[in-house]
Each structure stands twice: as C-alpha cells, then as structure tokens.
Amino acid sequence: MKYSVPIALIAFVSCPAMAAQANLARAAHLVVDSHLGALRPSLLVDGKRGRQSRQTYWNDGTQGRGGDVVRLVWDKTRMIQEVRLLAPIMDRGGPYRLSGIEIQLRRGGKPLVTVMNLAMVAAPTLVACRDPVVKLAEGVAVDEMRVTFGNGNRDGWNFCGEIVVLGPGQNQSLLSELAAQDGHATPMDFTQSVIWLEAKARELVRASQRDMANGVHAFPPQVGPGYNAFWLRDYSYMIETCADALTEKELVDACRLFADAVREDGAGVDCVRFSGEPVYKPGMGTMGRNPVADGGQFTVNVAWVTWRRTRDRNLLNHVLPALCKTLEAVPRNPATGLVHITPGEGRDRCPYGFTDTIGKQGDVLFCSLLYIQASRRLADLLRAAGQVTAAESRDKEAEKLVARVRSTFWDPKTGLFRAATVRCREPDIWGSAFAVYLNVASEPQARSVGVYFRDHYAEICQRGQVRHRVYWERGCKRDTYQNGAFWAVPTGWFVHALAPVAPELARRTVLDLVRDFHERGICEWTIGARTRLPNYVASATLPLQGIRELAGQPVGVRR
C-alpha cells in the first residue's frame, strides 16, 4: 500500500546550521552511492554548513555525472516532519546552482513521500545561499530517507553542507538570515539576485502543487490554502519560465485539462475547481454576464509551452481542435478585429484576469495583446501539425492586429498605450510594457514607453514592483489590489522596456525586487508597508521573462 502525506510547504530559505541535538539525521547510518567513493559522508551531519576553503562540506567529486544518492537509515522508525538541505558557502567563485534534487521518505522499503525537482544555490555568503526545505503538514514515521543529488546538474558536481531532519515539535528559533555564518553578510549582486530568483521561482511552483479529484496535479496561484482551484492564467505564467519544474506528465495532464474544459461555444475557463468543475467567469462564476475575455488566449499559451517542452504529438492532435475553437470564440470587434467588451450598464464580461475588478469597456488593449500572442503561438502549433495554410492565416491575422493596436490605443500625449477605447481609457502601464515585450509596439513607441517609465519611475514602481496605473476610472478601492497597489508580475516586461533608455535603473529594479522578496516574502501585491497573499507563485516566475534577457541569458523563442 502506498501512503501519502499532504505537504504544507516546500520552502527555499537560507538559515544557519541548527543545534546538534535537534538533528535526527545524526542518529542515522549514512550510505553514499557515489562514482568515486570514500567521500566522507559524515560531513553531511557534522553540524557545519561548510566553507569551501575548509573543505568541510560533502562533495561527490564526479564531474560530468549526476544522480548520486545519499541514504540515511535509522535502526528504528522516526517521526519526520521537516527536512533541510543546507547549501555550502562557496568562497571561490559562485554562486552555483544545483537542480533536480529529490527527497524521498521511506518505511519498510516503500516510498511514503517523494518530492522532486528541488534546487540549491551555494554562494560566497550565507545571504545568497538557498536551501531546499520540505515541510510536511504532519509527521510521518520512516526508517529511511534518500536524497538524490544532481539529476539536473549540468557539470555533475554534487555537494551539500549538511542534512537536517526534524521531527514534530522541533520548531527552532532560527537566527536572522542576514547573520551570516561566515561572520559577515553582503547584499546579493545582480547575478546572485537572478540566480536566487530562478531557484525560488521553481521552489514555489513545486510547493504550490495540489492533487485534483481526477489525479491531475494542480498548481494554484499561491502556496497554501488561499486559492482553492487551478487557475489557467497563473499556471500559464508559471510554465512560461519554469516549465522544467514540472514533469512532462504534469504538463501534459494540465494541458489536456484546460483544453478539455473549453465549452461547446468555445469559451475558455477562468479556473477549474479541484473537483474538476470548470468555471468560466471570475469570482467563481459571479463576475460578468459572459466568460472572461482571456480564457481562450491562455489556453493556447499553455498548449504552446507544453508542446515546446514535450513535443508530444498525440497531445498536439488532441488539443488543436479545442484551441482553434476557443480562439475563435474570443469576443472581438468586427470593425477592428480587437478584443472587445460590450459597453453598457452592468458588466458584459471581465477583461484580463489581473484586472478583473476593473470596468474596462470597448476595445481592450491587454486582451488584444494576448490575442496576438496566442495567434502567433497557434500558428506554430498548426505548422507543427502540418496545417501550413491555417498557420499562415493565423500569422497574417496577428500582424494585422499589431497595426491596429499601434493606431487604436496609442496616446502620443503620454507616450503610452491606453487600456481601452470606451471606459477606463487611462494609459496602461502593464499593457504598454507587454506591448514592448511582444514587439507589438513600434520602435518609436517602444522608446517612448521606456522614457515614460524612466521619467515617472517613482510613481509607478516601488521596491521593484509595478502598479497597473495610478488609479482607474472604474475599479476596486484605491490603493488596494488592482487599483494603485504594486505587483511583481509585470516587472520582467517593465525592465525589458526600461533597459534601452535606463539600463542601470532597470538592473536596480531587479535588485530592489529580490531584496524585497528576501526581506518580506513573495507576495501577490504590496503598497508601502502592506503586503498581501504571501508565496504568490506568478510574482516569482513571470518576471524572469524580461530579467533573463537583462542578465544576458539565452531565452529561446519568444512569440
């Protein structure tokens, strides 16, 4: 019989080594399955995080080969609730990222809990180190723990400062993250900040995983119980940058789930309840008379990212009819081709989900940008399926809409794109940044957006996070949520647009963002001293789109 234990949190933190008496790992017999052997496994439980100069951390020494296994075997069962792998402090060079770590708790030779795709960052100072942590909702009795290092590590060097295992009730007071073990703490530089965010983003993705009634692994927007459904757009924003945090099966299952939820009339979902029930309007079906205006676009985006990762032709053939249907069903203005929300009293439908409380009407910018992106991506999928003529038609449609966006929404007076043509015609900060990121904005428009961001930086950016605009004509309460608060979700697009005119300011934005994450947690939104909804996954994942380019990393195809 296979047992399962709910995982309350998989965190990614830095912390000093814990007191020896609390570490159940020290009572275990250690076995290291290494290619070279004789690697002093006692270093994994010696009570030290380990400094490179002192050679006090465990290192398997197998360049070019990964997958080394460390087994902790107890003489009798132990109640385990938390496992921490402490990254060593690397004096020479770094930071170093170790990915593909797996922790498995076992009893009687059977796996009880398996957590995959964890990552570790070793760095010159403790403040930049990142430690994988698995925390269970309740203790589980085990007699063995296996840690597999380096399945995703490119050069094969696998290392660990210490393995810490805690039982129920052993919550310890940890020293401040900035009280570094090596006697000093220095702020992370730009490279360290990007690596920290990369690792943190993947950890939050894994930590958010919940099981649906049909067995599909759902990845809701927040770690913990705050969002009790599987949201389409948040999931899309996770896999845009962190698809490698999921298994191919998880990607395929989720893609099928959202494609199969496309309604008979083509409507795409807002979310799917864990029970499997599709929901087509925000507020669990309460907001608007009709389905949300971005469901079709995000359904296509999920399929495109999944196809690029898996190249699963059976999946492609299965979902293509639904993708074509749902994109055709997106409400559009027959005169312009742009995504349209019917003006009038009441609410016809909600716009882009990250502004679903904002009463936009007429042709709407953000959903039109999403439509252009989805059209381009659907063209790629059609071409992959051999439907060349249909693919060319989609590409041509996208290019026509690019011209329409440039002429319809552009406000030369402010140098930004407007959010809508009838109500909420205010300049759209997120939408303008996204238009630049998608190469929808012309070169002069893109430069104008960057100049506006530079010249109005203090009013639109706070701690590396960006507001939608100052205030909307029709929206929720001011200085909260989508009407004046600051979000990390668009920061990658923001720095991408800002960098050509103010590169140092763009880099500083990233440093400010990571510093705030490090000090106050990764939240959905913030304003001043207020933060809301901690461990909000898209706040960590989506900014990597533009940040990776700023860091000079290869970003692959952008459509």
Interval 26-50: pLDDT, tens: 888 888 776 554 556 777 877 666 6
* Extended strands (E) in 123-252: 131-149, 159-160, 162-166, 210-211, 217-218, 229-231
Residue 450 CA, distance from chain mean position:
25
489-536 pLDDT tens trace = 999 999 999 999 999 999 999 999 999 998 889 999 999 999 999 999
Which CATH number fits the domain that encloses residue 14? 2.60.120.260
Both 282 and 356 in one domain: the answer is yes
**Confidence check: pLDDT of 437 > 80:** yes
**Confidence check: pLDDT of 240 > 80:** yes
Both 191 and 333 in one domain: the answer is no
**Section 333-361 average pLDDT:** 96
CA 67 – CA 439 distance, rounded (Å): 41
Both 179 and 255 in one domain: the answer is no
Q: Express the helix, strand and coil content of the chain in percent, nearest 5 each.
A: 35, 25, 40
Q: Is 389 part of any domain?
A: yes
When mean pLDDT is compared across 16-30, 243-257, 400-414, 419-433, the lowest value belongs to 16-30
Q: Is 201 part of any domain?
A: no
**Confidence check: pLDDT of 176 > 90:** no
Both 417 and 475 in one domain: the answer is yes
Query: Domain total for the chain?
Result: 3
* 454, amino acid identity: R
User: Which of 361, 381, 407 delimits the end of a domain?
Assistant: 407
Q: Is 468 part of any domain?
A: yes
**Section 272-300 average pLDDT:** 97
State residue 132's pLDDT score. Answer: 86
> 358 lies in which domain range?
245-407
CB 164 within 8 A of CB 23: yes
Both 281 and 162 in one domain: the answer is no
CA 451 – CA 67 distance, rounded (Å): 49
State residue 43's pLDDT score. Answer: 77
Q: Of 199 and 505, which is predicted with more confidence?
A: 505
DSSP conformation class of 345: S
Of 127-131, 183-187, 400-404, where does the model show the most confidence? 400-404
State residue 48's pLDDT score. Answer: 67
When mean pLDDT is compared across 190-194, 316-320, 448-452, 490-494, the lowest value belongs to 190-194
**Confidence check: pLDDT of 15 > 50:** no
pLDDT band at 180 (very low <50, low <70, confident <90, very high): very low
Q: What is the pTM for the complete model shown?
A: 0.76
State residue 34's pLDDT score. Answer: 65
Helix runs in 267-347, H state only: 282-285, 295-310, 313-328
Q: Round the CA-based radius of gyration of the chain to a whole number and report it.
A: 24
Both 50 and 171 in one domain: the answer is yes
- b/e 272-297 (16+ beta carbons within 10 angstroms → b): bebeeebbbbbeeeeebebbbbbbbb
State residue 172's pLDDT score. Answer: 47
State residue 152's pLDDT score. Answer: 55
Closest CA to 540 of 133, 177, 205, 232: 205
- Share above pLDDT 70 across residues of the chain, in percent, rounded to a whole number: 86
**Confidence check: pLDDT of 296 > 60:** yes
Q: Is 220 part of any domain?
A: no
**Confidence check: pLDDT of 407 > 70:** yes
CA 278 – CA 266 distance, rounded (Å): 13
Both 178 and 277 in one domain: the answer is no
Q: Is 326 part of any domain?
A: yes
When mean pLDDT is compared across 175-184, 194-203, 340-349, 373-382, the lowest value belongs to 175-184
Both 385 and 471 in one domain: the answer is no
What the block records as the tokens of 327 is 């994109």
**Confidence check: pLDDT of 182 > 50:** no
**Section 173-197 average pLDDT:** 60
- b/e 468-502 (16+ beta carbons within 10 angstroms → b): bbeebeebbeeeebbbbbbbbbbbbbbbbbbbbbb
Which CATH number fits the domain that encloses residue 289? 1.50.10.10
Q: Is 230 part of any domain?
A: no
* 130, amino acid identity: R
Q: Is 215 part of any domain?
A: no
User: Which of 383, 407, 431 delimits the end of a domain?
Assistant: 407
Both 107 and 181 in one domain: the answer is yes
pLDDT band at 199 (very low <50, low <70, confident <90, very high): confident
CA 113 – CA 115 distance, rounded (Å): 7
When mean pLDDT is compared across 138-147, 175-184, 508-517, the lowest value belongs to 175-184
Helix, strand or coil for residue 507?
helix
User: Which of 196, 214, 230 delimits the end of a domain?
Assistant: 196
State residue 363's pLDDT score. Answer: 98
State residue 52's pLDDT score. Answer: 55
CA 145 – CA 341 distance, rounded (Å): 55
Both 403 and 415 in one domain: the answer is no
Both 12 and 102 in one domain: the answer is yes
124-133 pLDDT tens trace = 777 677 888 8
Closest CA to 158 of 255, 237, 61: 61
Q: Is 224 part of any domain?
A: no
State residue 171's pLDDT score. Answer: 55
When mean pLDDT is compared across 76-85, 182-191, 458-467, the lowest value belongs to 182-191
Both 434 and 315 in one domain: the answer is no
β-bridge partners, 174 = none
CA distances from 390 to 89, 305, 394, 403 (A): 54, 20, 6, 21
CA 134 – CA 546 distance, rounded (Å): 30
Degrees (nearest 5) of the Cα angle 195, 237, 213?
Answer: 115
**String of DSSP letters for 223-257:** SSSS--EEEHHHHHHHHHHHGGGS-HHHHHHHHHH
**Section 400-427 average pLDDT:** 97
Phi then psi for residue 472, to 5 deg, are: -95, 155
**Confidence check: pLDDT of 243 > 50:** yes
**Confidence check: pLDDT of 67 > 80:** no
State residue 128's pLDDT score. Answer: 74
State residue 174's pLDDT score. Answer: 39
Closest CA to 497 of 538, 460, 525, 536: 460
Closest CA to 483 of 360, 348, 338, 342: 360
* 115, amino acid identity: V
